[in-house]
Amino acid sequence: MIRVSGIFKSFNEHAVLKDINATFEKGKTNLIIGQSGSGKTVLLKCMVGLFDVDDGEIYYDDVLFNKISFTERKDIRKKIGMLFQSGALFDSSTVEENVMFPLDMFTNMTLEEKRERVNFCLKRVNIINFNHLFPAEISGGMQKRVAIARAIALNPRFLFCDEPNSGLDPKTSILIDELIKEITEEYDITTIVNTHDMNSVMGIGDKIIYIYKGEKWWEGTKEDVLQSDNKEFNDFVFASALTRKIKGIL
């Protein structure tokens, strides 16, 4: 479980996050949704420690993450897997080397054991026989799946995904969403996904938090989405002609 309490963050006196309070539950796919520029990526980066918060508390289980020492924070980071918007695979390393990287850095496994683990993770995300290709030689969807394989290589307890569907076609997006949900349930981990894709919201949103102009405006499940009477939230959810049509039918 991850809990954030009273999070404030600003850049050059421009407040990006204002008093964010939320709990992200274990074994569930927790979604942070909102328009571009609403502050959801900043919130995610604060949670993983890439940005320091101006005020507030971030708890990983019962550990106050943003107040502990660098070494203690490092121990928690080893339990974190993260899927970046761009995949963030290492360009100069092959698919196999990318997935093996966390094993090289943080385990004392033999080469054979590491290869076995890499092949297991790649098989889990349906990437087979691409071990020796470089990221530039595989498609965007495959890069995302390799990034997921790298993120789960160390059996993380927390998985963060920053706009995992960006740049992907709808069908591949659904595959990535399903993969994230399956992995969350299979390994019983706390997963937090940043997205503005309504397919993801309705497909995998066990818990949804809506961020509007740096503030939390709505919280609920995918079942609650259609019943919401929050104007800003409805403006976001029913922005497209398709979602308006669906609402009309329902």
Partner 1 sequence: MRIFNLIGSYFLLLGKVFSMPEKKMIYYKLTIKEIEKLGLNSIVIVAIISAFMGAIITIQTAYNTTSPFLPSYLVGLAARDSILLEFSSTIVGLILAGKVGSNIASEIGTMRVSQQIDALEVMGVNSASYLILPKIIATIFFNPFLTMLSIVVGIIGGWSVGVFTGVVTTQEYINGIQYAFIPFYITYALIKTVVFAFLITTISAFQGYNVEGGSLEVGQASTRAVVASSVAILLFNLILTQLLLS
Would you tell me which residues interact with partner 1 (CB under 8 A)?
45, 48-50, 73-75, 77-78, 80, 82, 84-86, 88-91, 101-102, 104-106, 160
107 or 234, CB closer to partner 1?
107
Residue 69's Cβ-count burial label (10 Å; 0-12, 13-18, 19+) is: exposed
Bridge partners, 22 (sequence order)? 4
Smallest distance from the beta carbon of 75 to partner 1, in angstroms? 8
Smallest distance from the beta carbon of 114 to partner 1, in angstroms? 13
Smallest distance from the beta carbon of 203 to partner 1, in angstroms? 25
106 or 120, CB closer to partner 1?
106
102 or 214, CB closer to partner 1?
102
Give pairs for 103-109: CB < 8 Å, separation 24+. 103/153, 103/154, 106/78, 106/154, 107/154
Q: Which two tokens stand for residue 249?
A: 């039918």
Length of the chain: 250
Smallest distance from the beta carbon of 77 to partner 1, in angstroms? 3
Sheet containing 63-64, strands listed edge to edge, beginning at the edge strand earlier in sequence = 14-24, 2-11, 55-60, 63-64
92 or 129, CB closer to partner 1?
92
